[in-house]
Amino acid sequence: MQRKINLLLVCLAVCLFGQIQAQPTDCTSNRYQQKVFNNIQVTSDLTYGNAQNVLLFNQSLELDVYEPAPAEEYLDKRPLVVMFFGGGYVLGSKTDPDMVAWCDSLAHNGYVCVSVEYRLDNVANFALINQGVRAAYRAIQDGRAAIRYMLEDPDNLGFNIDPEHIYVGGQSAGAITAINIAHLDESERPTVTTNYNIFNPDLGCLDCTGNNYVQPFEIKGIIDLWGAVLSVDHIEATDDIPMVLIHGDDDFVVPYTSGSPFNVPLFPAMFGAVPMAAQLTANGHCHQFYPYLGEGHVIYGTTAVAITFPNSYWEPIYQQGHSFLYDKTLAFDSPIPSGNQIVCPGVTETYNVPMTIGSIYCWDVTNGTVVSQNNNQVTVQWNSGYGSLTLTEATCIDVIGTAQTIAIDATSQYTMANGNMLTGLQNYSYDYEVEGVIESDQLVDGPIHVDYDSGTYIDLKSDFEVTLGTSFHAFIDGCGGL
């Protein structure tokens, strides 16, 4: 994607200056995976901007915000999901039942979710060529303006959005809008959105309308519910944005494969879930495709047609969408601790992992005692026997990494070998010289005590070499003396 923006410094500032102490410190959380908030707060009809509509009048643009109730919230930076309703760019509303259901459910799971009202066209105008493309472009502009507004938070409403975790989704026209917010570059802007004629003025650049907030962002993931694109080439190899695609193979409104919406040749050809999934696969992009065989458009029900929302498809589709967000964009493995795993009983060893600003690290020890801990570093005194050390990382938005465990062996001080080889705990990865010769370059950590039949001990240290007989037995003292 040509407009790739480096948000590393923004993310560091977000996590560094946020009130990390508000985050739970036990590294156990089901946030984003299931309902964890009993109460949510809904703020309706917030004006995020204004823009000229299809009738060339200035239109106020509004959105509804769903978020965990402030009394229950404990984070200072939260991920944002922005949802867009369907209706062919001539119908629909941010208060459509499915949009309310998505945002209500996601907010109970710990996201901030926004349902966006965008500019609509009208049926009469849609009969004219190219108007559908212009209508979609207006919605894309409005969606981008809504995201900038949420990041700007001009009225200090406490949105606290993490710019590293912004997701978009929608159904039908809303899905088309969401996909293009993520993938459409300025250089790929349709030519019909420029100065088409006196009644169709230039619509401006992607971020040139709605509001003037300067808030760079990138999309972290997409929920596509029976959507499509004008060209799969817009999903470029560099646009590595995880995407879940849900589509019925009997959809005649938005093509499952390719073709004109509603099978009307007046509308431009579009490419649905099958070619988009193929493009994502070819690019090596993370995605999941859920085809619903024998099903048509908006299969979970909508009040826009005779079907009542929700039907039995709502729950599985919601689970596929929200599970994808967590499993493919948030979930991660905690780092593996570094440090000695073969140790002497009673000694203290220090272990650490790379530090991520804003993360909390939780250590769990078996058969040992934590002597000291400094977030990403821990010092442990080990008891005799086998033990383990487990590390779990919790990020600054309370995503819990999969725990990593290393095994600890503190079982014995001595290892005995007979014949022509010496092995030992202190240098357990080394085989010593055959024919009874112990070379100095094999003594990494010396001293090593050699026990002859006579009971005499000889200390072997660096730059020292001893030749033994062809037959001997030896004890290697790896823990500092017999």
Say if residue 109 is in the same domain as residue 147.
yes
443 SS3 class: coil
Q: Is the pLDDT of residue 17 over 60?
A: no
CA 423 to each of CA 234, 417, 460, 478: distance values in angstroms, whole numbers, following the listed order? 61, 7, 14, 10
Can you give the pLDDT at residue 207? Answer: 97
pLDDT at 460 over 80: no
Mean pLDDT to the nearest integer, 215-244? 97
Residue 281 falls within a domain, yes or no? yes
44/184 same-domain check? yes
Domain count, the chain: 3
- Residue 436 vs residue 74, higher pLDDT: 74
**Has residue 19 got a pLDDT over 50?**
no
- Regarding whether 324 and 206 lie in a shared domain, the answer is yes
CA separation for the pair 285, 235 (Å, rounded): 10
What's the rounded mean pLDDT across residues 408-421?
A: 55
Both tokens of residue 415?
Answer: 């290892």
Whether residues 127 and 194 share a domain: the answer is yes
Q: What is the mean pLDDT of residues 397-423?
A: 71
- Residue 97 in contact with residue 310, Cβ under 8 Å? yes
* Measured distance CA(460)–CA(443) in Å, rounded: 8
- Sheet with 360-366: strands ordered across: 360-366, 385-394, 404-410
Same domain, 240 and 377: no
pLDDT at residue 204, rounded to an integer: 95
Least confident piece of the model among 41-55, 80-94, 259-273, 466-480: 466-480
CA–CA distance, 288 with 290 (Å, rounded to integer): 7
How much is the mean pLDDT over the chain?
84
Kind plus residue range of the DSSP H or E element containing 245: strand 243-248
* pLDDT confidence of residue 223: 98
Alpha-carbon distances, residue 442 vs 101, 423, 434, 447, 458 (angstroms): 68, 11, 12, 11, 16
Q: What confidence category does residue 124 fall into, taking pLDDT thresholds of 50, 70 and 90? A: confident
User: Structure tokens of 412?
Assistant: 């014995």
**Residue 8: pLDDT above 80?**
no
Domain final position from 365, 391, 410: 410
- Quote the tokens at residue 125: 């105008």
21 belongs to a structural domain: no
Q: Which domain-ending residue is among 389, 410, 431?
A: 410
Confidence of residue 23 (pLDDT cuts 50, 70, 90): low
Same domain, 301 and 368: no
239, part of any domain: yes
Q: Is the pLDDT of residue 135 over 60?
A: yes
Residue 100 has pLDDT above 50, yes or no: yes
Are 84 and 168 spatial neighbours (Cβ–Cβ below 8 Å)?
Answer: yes
Residue 338 lies in a domain: no
Helical (H) or strand (E) element with 393: strand 385-394
Say if residues 426 and 476 touch (Cβ distance below 8 Å). yes
Quick check: helix, strand or coil at residue 260? coil
pLDDT band at 473 (very low <50, low <70, confident <90, very high): very low
pLDDT per position as a tens digit, 243-289: 999 999 999 999 999 999 998 888 899 999 999 999 999 999 999 99
Q: Give the pLDDT of residue 482.
A: 31
Clarify whether residues 387 and 453 are in a common domain. no
Q: How many residues would you count in the chain? A: 482
**Residues 110 and 68 sit within 8 Å (Cβ to Cβ):** yes
**Percent of the chain beyond pLDDT 70?**
79
Pairing of strands 377-382, 368-373: antiparallel
- Cα separation, 10 vs 2, whole angstroms: 20
The stretch 189-202 carries a mean pLDDT of 86
Are 62 and 205 in a shared domain?
A: yes
Q: What is the pLDDT of residue 242?
A: 98
- DSSP-derived letter for residue 330 is I
Lowest average pLDDT, out of 21-35, 141-155, 308-322, 452-466, goes to 452-466
Query: What tokens appear for 8 in the block?
Result: 């590393």
In a domain, 2, yes or no: no
pLDDT confidence bin for 127, thresholds 50/70/90: confident
Residues linked to residue 279 through DSSP beta bridges, in sequence order: none
In this structure, the answer to whether residues 309 and 458 fall within a common structural domain is no
My answer on whether 385 and 426 are in the same domain is no
- Beta carbons of 85 and 63 less than 8 angstroms apart: no
Give the range of the structural domain holding residue 367, as residue numbers without chain letter.
348-410
Burial (CB < 10 A; 0-12, 13-18, 19+), residue 159, is buried
pLDDT tens digits, residue range 339-377? 999 888 888 999 999 999 999 999 999 999 999 999 999
d(CA 400, CA 378): 19
| pLDDT tens digits along 360-369 | 999 999 999 9
Among the listed ranges 37-46, 200-209, 226-235, 445-454, which one has the minimum average pLDDT value? 445-454
Residue 339 lies in a domain: no
Residues 427 and 372 in one domain: no
Specify the CATH number for the domain of residue 72.
3.40.50.1820
User: What's the pLDDT band for 24 if we cut at 50, 70, 90?
Assistant: low
Quick one: 61 and 116 in the same domain? Answer: yes
Cα angle for residues 128, 130, 133 (degrees, 5° grid): 130
Q: Is residue 184 domain-resident?
A: yes
pLDDT tens-place string over residues 315-324: 999 999 999 9
pLDDT tens for each residue of 164-187: 999 999 999 999 999 999 999 999
Look at residue 18 and tell me if it is in a domain. no
pLDDT on residue 307: 54
CA distances from 424 to 92, 250, 350, 410, 412 (A): 75, 69, 22, 13, 10
